[in-house]
Structure 1
Amino acid sequence: MNLSTIEMRHLRYFVGVAEAGSFRAAAERLHITQPPLTRQVQQLEEMLGTELFVRRSRGVELTAAGRMLLDDARNILILTEQALTRSQLAGRGELGRLDVGVFGSAGLDFVPRIIQDFRRLYPQVEVVLHSLDRDEQIKALSQRRLTVGFNRFFGDEIGLEWEVILTESMHVAVPALHPYAELKELAFSALEGQPLILYPRKPRPGFIDHLMRMFHTQNILPKVEQEVDDVVTAVALVAAGVGLCLVVDSACNLSLPGVVYVPLRKQDKATFNLCLIRRSDDHSPLLEAFIKVARVQRGSKNGGLQLIR
């Protein structure tokens, strides 16, 4: 007995006859003529070395061996169909798992909206979010523990590539009782002499270095009150009246009592980029679909494109 010669059609025809109760009715359901259907079932019985049906004048009945095979044959057919469907979905980027790295304020607005839109379009894809700083994201990507990452600073890395996915304007978080809280916009030069809370302390270079370059360009000597690890801690200190801090658009979603966000003047050109990083050799349909949603979401945020599939 060579079971390797059994094909899917043998099982499909066997299940068809078992469920229909006769070769004639099964042939009609399967849209084939009766003689080839009969031959396929006979071949299956020969390969198994046992009869699967008791033939009667008014139809067929399963033998003990037939009853034993029926449930397993049904399961095999179902699992095969599921496997093929899952493979097709994965090939179109509609099934699988995405591990997404994010850090700081990027996790407060833009990235969650990308994930929300992506899950709406591809509900069968599992999206797992990981809080990792830039160096941790680079390491995880290189080790294939991460699919894609979002951060503010990326340089050239072997085997990785990045693109600016969003440019955000900057605001000043000020205590609600501070005189600046009444202003509609603020000049960057107005920060001179003000106690400032800077973040994050690492990794470097980072947001702190970006701000220092801006201060240097305008010949401002910043009065640094504290350096902290993240934007949430910085804004919490603003709420406590310790000082002011600079944030990007996304961080304005941090709604803490006693904090007002005042935008910097447009002429100060105070912006900060968010980058997307990926492996250079990863061109999977799943990742490409995710990046497409990220790019469209960028256009939607800027008042341009609308999310389409």
Structure 2
Amino acid sequence: MLPVDLRQFECFIAVAEEGNVSRAAARLHMTQPPLTRRIARLERSVGVSLFMRTPSGVELTEAGAVLLDRAHRIMQLTEYAIDRARLADAGQAGSLVVGYFGSPMFDAVPRLLRGFLKTRPTVSLVLERAPKNVQADAIRDGRMHLGFSRQYRSEPGLVVRRVASEPLYLALPEGHPLLKAGEAELADLREQQLVLFPTGPRPSFADAVTQLCAQAGFSAPVVREAGDVLTALGYVASAGFCSVVPRSATRVTLPGVGFVPLSDTPPEGLSCLYRADNVPALVRAFLDHVSATSSEPETTAESGPRVSI
């Protein structure tokens, strides 16, 4: 079968709809002879007659009627594909695969993504819970576009960008005296049984809390390490331990757990991770959205270990 191009379909549709070659030629802004040749080439490619002559012009054969329906679909699909490609190039379409881990999903990440997707109804969002090392591998391999977490070990080829900050809180068991006080200070941790999270990969939020305690002149009184924030809060509710958490974790309602702000600690940073080169248009658009809507100063890093607190 000879190849068929879209221009032949365009000519075929015009002749079929006009029922007259002269009117179809005028509609296509071309003369009649080249239009007739295009229809003849299409018929040779298909291997059947598509039109039959009538006193007033032409009519579709049965085969032509079948082809007309499909030709319309092909043209519509082609237009749709072109539009989607242009939207994707502008960061307005496609699939955005986002990795996350822990408490960022309780507040900051949904807020950032919701604002971004609000003006991009044709973008499909895929969320994947993944530790930082898994995020890094997936982003490097192109299986994931963005990652979110609180501390990253920056690596060549990947960029860490801080996108938000949150104050720290102390999660306390029901009835704890500090809940009545309404706030706590870092020194109050000296007398507590502390649960840190996560257990890995390092550096982690647990390292940040340990470093804060060391800077205040004491060793963190750690009795447990939990895999994630929900497990840490489970220890608070069940065993009466305490845990330092970002503010987003206070959105978790767990019986027997209350929260007070740690008034003398710096805010905890939330960062996103993405490729340093060949950055997808959707990722570029998201970063532009963050720059336009966030009060967080833009800071990035591409190499070396980092713990941000």
User: Does the TM-score normalized on the shorter chain lie above 0.5?
Assistant: yes
C-alpha distance in 1 between matches for 2:154 and 2:107:
26
Shift of 1:205: 1.9
Which residue pairs with 2:283 in the alignment? 287
Which residue pairs with 2:38 in the alignment? 43
Of residues 149, 152, 163, the one that matches 1:151 is 149
- Contact 1:98 / 1:126 at 8 angstroms: preserved in 2? yes
Shift of 1:51: 4.3
Which residue pairs with 1:230 in the alignment? 228
Which residue pairs with 1:270 in the alignment? 266
C-alpha distance in 2 between matches for 1:232 and 1:153:
18
Shift of 1:292: 2.4
1:76 aligns with 2:74: yes
C-alpha distance in 1 between matches for 2:179 and 2:33:
85
Which residue pairs with 1:304 in the alignment? none
- Contact 2:135 / 2:144 at 8 angstroms: preserved in 1? yes
- Describe the superposition over 1:2-24 as per-residue Cα deviations: whole angstroms up to 9, x where unpaired: x34x5423311221221233346
Which residue pairs with 2:304 in the alignment? none
- Contact 2:43 / 2:50 at 8 angstroms: preserved in 1? no
Structure 2 counterpart SS, 1:99: strand
Which residue pairs with 1:307 in the alignment? none
Shift of 1:173: 0.9
Distance 1:226 1:24, change over 3 A: same
C-alpha distance in 1 between matches for 2:292 and 2:101:
21
- Describe the superposition over 1:45-66 as per-residue Cα deviations: whole angstroms up to 9, x where unpaired: 2453464322323342112442
Distance 1:101 1:47, change over 3 A: closer
C-alpha distance in 1 between matches for 2:192 and 2:58:
91
C-alpha distance in 2 between matches for 1:253 and 1:228:
19
Structure 1 counterpart SS, 2:12: helix
C-alpha distance in 2 between matches for 1:21 and 1:48:
17
C-alpha distance in 2 between matches for 1:39 and 1:145:
48
Task: Tell me the TM-score normalised to structure 2 length.
Answer: 0.86
Shift of 1:190: 1.3
**% same residue:** 34
C-alpha distance in 1 between matches for 2:266 and 2:42:
76
Which residue pairs with 2:87 in the alignment? 89
Shift of 1:26: 4.5
Structure 1 counterpart SS, 2:148: strand
Task: Tell me the TM-score normalised to structure 1 length.
Answer: 0.86
Of residues 146, 169, 175, the one that matches 2:173 is 175
- The runs of 5 or more residues in structure 2 that have no matched partner are 297-309
Structure 2 counterpart SS, 1:81: helix
Larger mean CA deviation between 50-59 and 204-213 belongs to: 50-59
Which residue pairs with 2:107 in the alignment? 109
- Contact 1:161 / 1:278 at 8 angstroms: preserved in 2? yes
C-alpha distance in 1 between matches for 2:280 and 2:50:
45
Kindly provide the amino acid, as one letter, of the partner of residue 239 in structure 1: A
Distance 1:38 1:64, change over 3 A: farther
Distance 1:259 1:288, change over 3 A: same
- Contact 1:14 / 1:41 at 8 angstroms: preserved in 2? no
C-alpha distance in 2 between matches for 1:235 and 1:142:
33
Report the number of matched residues. Answer: 293
